[in-house]
Every structure is written in C-alpha cells, then in structure tokens.
C-alpha cells in the first residue's frame, strides 16, 4: 500500500518567544522536526512532504538532503489550509499519514499502527485521554459513549461547556485515504471563531459519507505531547531523558541519579557500568564492562574500554580509551585521541590526534597534539608538543620508556629516541638518540649586587 507522509512544520510558535522556528528547537540535542523525520523514515513512505511557513528558508535548509519535499503555506490559515497546499503532490491511491513537526516523540510503532488501521479506506485518528484536556480538540462520539462511533472533532475554542468535559482528545495525528482526503480538504470552509480552515472538520465529512472513522489510542501521553513553550520543551526533555535512563538501568547500568543524566545520541553499555550525576552523552558512545564515569563529564562519539575510569569534569570527543585507563579529572580528549591500555591522563591535560601506547602517562598540565607516544612514557607537567608552525601541523614521535621532564617544549617534527630522557625546561627541536639525556636550556646565572628597580615616590599634594 502506498504511503505519503505529511509533516506540519509551518507554525510560528509565538509562545516560544524565539526568533528560531519552533520545529528547529532542540530536544536531546536534535531539532524537534529531526525526531519526526527520523520516525517517518522507518515507514519507507513513497514520499515525505514537509509543510513550511514561518522561517521557511531556515527550516528548508535544515531538512535539505533528507529526500523530503518542502511545500510552503503562506499565509498560515489553519491546518486544513496547510493540507490544501500539498494536495497536488499526493497520489490518489493509498494512505496519507499526517504528523506534526512539534510532536517529536511519536513512535514508529504507533505511526505504523495508525497507517495500518487506515488501510487506505478508513479515517484513523490517534487519540488519548487526558485528565486536563484544555486547549485540545475533543473527540465527539455517538451517544457520548467511549466505544461509540466517532462523529467529529470539536476544537476547544468552539466547544460547548458539555463538550469541554470530554477527556478524549485528538492528538493532531491522523491517517486518511488519500483520494478522499484531497476531496475533503478542498471542501473545507472557515466558518468558525478563528476564521481558519480546520483539518479536523473532515471527520464530520467522513462520518456523513458513511466512511468509518476509527480512534486509535496512543500508548502513552509522552508520545503525543507537543511543544509550544520553553516550559513544555523542558518537560518533554526530562521525560525523554528519564526513558533513556530507565532503559540503561534495565540493562544493568548504575546511575547515581537518573534525574541528572542526559543522552543526546546513543549509549551502549556493558555490565557493571557506573555513571555519576550530571553527565552528558552525545553522538555514539560505547562503554565497556566495569567502566566508571565521574560526575559532570561530557562524552561524545567515544569508545571507552573495560575497566577504564573517567574522573569528574572530563571532556571526551571523537576518542578511544583503552582498558584500565585513568582519565581526569578535568582532562580533555579531542578528536583522534587513541589511548592504549592503562594509560593515565591527569588533570588539565589535553590530547589531540595522538596515540598513547600501553602504560604511558601524562598526569599534569600538559598538551599532546599530533603525537605518537610509546609504551611506559612519562610526560612531565607543563610540557607541550609544538605541533603547528602557523601553516601546517607536524608530528612528534616519542619512543618507548622515554621520560620527558617538566616544562619542556618538543618542537615538531621531532623524534625522541627510545629510553631517552629530556631534562626539565628543555626546548627540543632536533631528534634525540635512544637512551640519552637531552638538555636544551640556558645556563643558570646569579648576579651579585643586583637590585630590583623601585618606583619613584609620588609628589605630595600642596
């Protein structure tokens, strides 16, 4: 059965109080609209159409390259008017599934069930019962019974006091037989308080024609919650993060506090992983067995092997950490950092595009950029690789068992021979031989009788 997906993304989002189009505000690190598009992609639809309007240029740039069709709604005269704009793009046969760009957590299984319920012949509405239905369109059923036939939807602003007591609401998501949908929306009028064309009016049209209207209950409230304000966005963020936290805990991860935990991508964890409070995981993160993550770490696109310990306030991006390694606190691993087993990276150490072999240590206040570091190297506090000449990057090679003293500068390209020692305070710009002590610093001089300059006394005020 052919499926077309239409995503409403034209609204201004006045209550967001932002210049950014509402559907581009982020939930778990991704735009609201991106969440919906990712769900739509699982349905293998014949086409996906995004209706843009407010901030159309920005929204269309954001979805460029995703294989979608953008159709503009200008001006925005209601949901029915929005669908009128896409009528020429829809096939006559099959089902049209209508989603909302500001309802980001709608599930793939739910959308598939709704499309299946339509089957190209019925009008299927996604509904849910809320304790407080204020602001939502109410589902009107025959005889007012929960199992009665769906007769229509009445918007909150147009509802009578009795209708406002109805708890079952329309979520804004439906699946309709495409041929009938095209005909219904072109017959809509704006005879209502808002003077808008309501898509929900097609429900009464379908009922009058004897086309079956079915209400499909959403599995939970979180899937169908929309975002209209920063408060609602923050609420949905915490709901989403709680889901991620519970999934990891069900898999055996120990979270110190699931309310202080954020995933903005995916986390795959082995057994006996422990994560302290305030940690943020972005992109794709793999945690091996027994990994421990200290408080307030930010980890993005990284693989951390079994038994590694990441101490608090460490930032890791695009890096791999070997088994049993100790990282931090306050360390930074930048893209291309590849750390072997039992490597130690201490406080205020930065590593970029460098490999450190088994047992290498840089414990304090150091920088390793574009370096190849051998086994059991001890890299002293305050030492750096000077890897950039103002135009090009160059590599530093440090052999096995090298000791680099404190406050050294290794000027790349340079190789420090295996087993060598670089004395503290040295600036090394030439390759060194294996096993030798290298010193490259000025001779210490003490000058007798020298006095420190003093300021002249200030003139007194008369």
SS (H, E, C) 344-407: EEEECCEEECCEECCCCEEEECCEEECEEECCCCEECCCCEEECECCCCECCEEECCCCEECCC
Whether 161 and 138 have beta carbons less than 8 Å apart is answered as no
CA 44 to mean position of chain CA atoms: 23
Q: What is the pLDDT of residue 18?
A: 95
Mean pLDDT of 137-160: 84
Per the structure, the count of domains in the chain is 2
pLDDT tops 80 at residue 1: no
What is d(CA 381, CA 343) in angstroms, rounded to the nearest whole number? 16
Domain of 416 in residue numbering reads as 255-438
Specify if 122 maps to a domain. yes
3-state secondary structure of 233: helix
pLDDT tops 70 at residue 462: no
pLDDT tops 90 at residue 327: yes
Specify if 234 maps to a domain. no
Verify that 275 and 385 share a domain, yes or no: yes
Q: What single DSSP character describes residue 9?
A: E
Reported confidence tier of residue 194, pLDDT bands at 50, 70, 90:
confident
Reported confidence tier of residue 193, pLDDT bands at 50, 70, 90:
confident
Mean pLDDT of 161-171: 91
Whether 151 and 166 have beta carbons less than 8 Å apart is answered as no
Taking only the tens place, the pLDDT of each residue in 213-229 is 999 999 999 999 999 99
pLDDT tops 90 at residue 142: no
Whether 114 and 175 have beta carbons less than 8 Å apart is answered as yes
Specify if 245 maps to a domain. no
pLDDT tops 90 at residue 351: yes
3-state secondary structure of 224: helix
Taking only the tens place, the pLDDT of each residue in 70-105 is 999 999 999 999 999 999 999 888 999 999 999 999
pLDDT tops 70 at residue 432: yes
pLDDT tops 90 at residue 123: yes
Specify if 87 maps to a domain. yes
Taking only the tens place, the pLDDT of each residue in 273-307 is 999 999 999 999 999 999 999 999 999 999 999 99
Which member of 156, 296, 364, 403 is catalytic?
364
Mean pLDDT, rounded, of the chain: 95
Specify if 39 maps to a domain. yes
Q: What single DSSP character describes residue 11?
A: -
Indicate if 364 belongs to the active site: yes
pLDDT tops 90 at residue 137: no
Q: What is the pLDDT of residue 381?
A: 98
Verify that 168 and 277 share a domain, yes or no: no
Specify if 443 maps to a domain. no
Phi first, then psi: what are they for 241, rounded to 5°? -65, -35
What Rg do the C-alpha atoms of the chain give, in angstroms?
Answer: 31
pLDDT tops 80 at residue 144: no
pLDDT tops 90 at residue 12: no
Q: What is the pLDDT of residue 152?
A: 86
Reported confidence tier of residue 143, pLDDT bands at 50, 70, 90:
confident
Q: What is the pLDDT of residue 440?
A: 94
pLDDT tops 70 at residue 423: yes
Write down which residue in 224, 240, 265 finishes a domain. Answer: 224
Angle ∠(417,423,429) on CA atoms, nearest 5:
55
3-state secondary structure of 36: helix
SS (H, E, C) 394-440: CCEEECCCCEECCCCEEECCEEECCCCEECCCCEECCCECCCCEECC
3-state secondary structure of 79: helix
Whether 76 and 8 have beta carbons less than 8 Å apart is answered as no
Whether 98 and 170 have beta carbons less than 8 Å apart is answered as no
Verify that 213 and 303 share a domain, yes or no: no
3-state secondary structure of 210: coil
Per DSSP, what are the bridge partners of residue 118? none
Verify that 195 and 290 share a domain, yes or no: no
Verify that 177 and 300 share a domain, yes or no: no
Verify that 272 and 201 share a domain, yes or no: no
Taking only the tens place, the pLDDT of each residue in 26-77 is 999 999 999 999 999 999 999 999 999 999 999 999 999 999 999 999 999 9
Reported confidence tier of residue 149, pLDDT bands at 50, 70, 90:
confident
Verify that 197 and 306 share a domain, yes or no: no
Share of the chain above pLDDT 70, in %: 100
Mean pLDDT of 320-337: 98
Verify that 272 and 335 share a domain, yes or no: yes
CATH at residue 91: 3.90.550.10
Mean pLDDT of 118-132: 94
Specify if 229 maps to a domain. no
Verify that 276 and 394 share a domain, yes or no: yes
Verify that 196 and 79 share a domain, yes or no: yes
Q: What is the pLDDT of residue 314?
A: 98
CATH at residue 418: 2.160.10.10
Mean pLDDT of 250-265: 97
Verify that 21 and 160 share a domain, yes or no: yes
Specify if 211 maps to a domain. yes
Verify that 62 and 175 share a domain, yes or no: yes
Mean pLDDT of 419-448: 95
């Amino acid at each position: 059965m052919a499926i077309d997906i239409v995503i409403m993304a034209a609204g201004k989002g006045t209550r967001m109080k932002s210049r950014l189009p509402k559907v581009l505000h982020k939930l778990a690190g991704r735009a609201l609209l991106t969440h919906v598009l990712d769900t739509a992609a699982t349905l293998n639809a014949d086409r996906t159409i995004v209706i843009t309007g407010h901030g159309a240029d920005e929204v269309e740039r954001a979805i460029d390259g995703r294989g979608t069709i953008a159709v503009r709604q200008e001006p925005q005269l209601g949901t029915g008017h929005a669908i009128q704009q896409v009528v020429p793009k829809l096939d006559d046969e099959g089902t049209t599934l209508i989603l909302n760009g500001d309802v980001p957590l709608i599930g793939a299984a739910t959308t598939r069930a709704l499309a299946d319920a339509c089957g190209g012949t019925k009008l299927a509405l996604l509904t849910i019962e809320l304790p407080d239905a204020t602001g939502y369109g109410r589902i009107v059923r025959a005889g007012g019974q929960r199992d009665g036939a769906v007769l229509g939807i009445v918007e909150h602003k147009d509802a009578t006091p009795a209708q406002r007591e109805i708890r079952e609401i329309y979520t804004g998501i439906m699946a309709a037989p495409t041929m009938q949908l095209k005909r219904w929306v072109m017959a809509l009028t704006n005879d209502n308080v808002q003077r808008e064309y309501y898509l929900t009016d097609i429900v009464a049209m379908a009922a009058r024609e004897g086309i079956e209207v079915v209400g499909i209950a959403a599995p939970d409230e979180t899937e169908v919650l929309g975002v209209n304000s920063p408060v609602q966005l923050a609420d949905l963020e915490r709901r989403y993060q709680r889901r991620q936290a519970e999934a990891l805990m069900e898999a055996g991860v120990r979270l110190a506090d699931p309310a202080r935990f954020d995933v903005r991508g995916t986390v795959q964890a082995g057994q006996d992983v422990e994560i302290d409070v305030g940690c943020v995981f972005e992109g794709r993160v793999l945690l091996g067995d027994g990994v421990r993550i200290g408080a307030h770490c930010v980890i993005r696109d990284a693989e951390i092997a079994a038994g590694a310990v990441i101490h608090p306030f460490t930032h890791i991006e695009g890096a791999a950490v070997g088994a049993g390694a100790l990282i931090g606190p306050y360390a930074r691993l930048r893209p291309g950092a590849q750390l072997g087993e039992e490597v130690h990276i201490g406080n205020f150490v930065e590593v970029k595009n460098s490999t450190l072999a088994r047992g290498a240590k840089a414990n304090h206040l150091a920088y390793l950029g574009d370096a190849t570091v051998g086994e059991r190297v001890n890299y002293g506090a305050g030492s750096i690789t000077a890897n950039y000449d103002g135009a090009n990057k160059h590599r530093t090679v440090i052999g096995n068992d090298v000791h680099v003293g404190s406050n050294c500068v290794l000027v790349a390209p340079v190789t420090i021979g295996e087993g060598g020692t670089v004395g503290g305070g040295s600036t090394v710009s030439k390759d060194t031989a294996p096993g030798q002590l290298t010193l490259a610093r000025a001779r210490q001089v003490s000058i007798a009788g020298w006095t420190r300059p003093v300021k002249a006394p200030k003139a007194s005020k008369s």
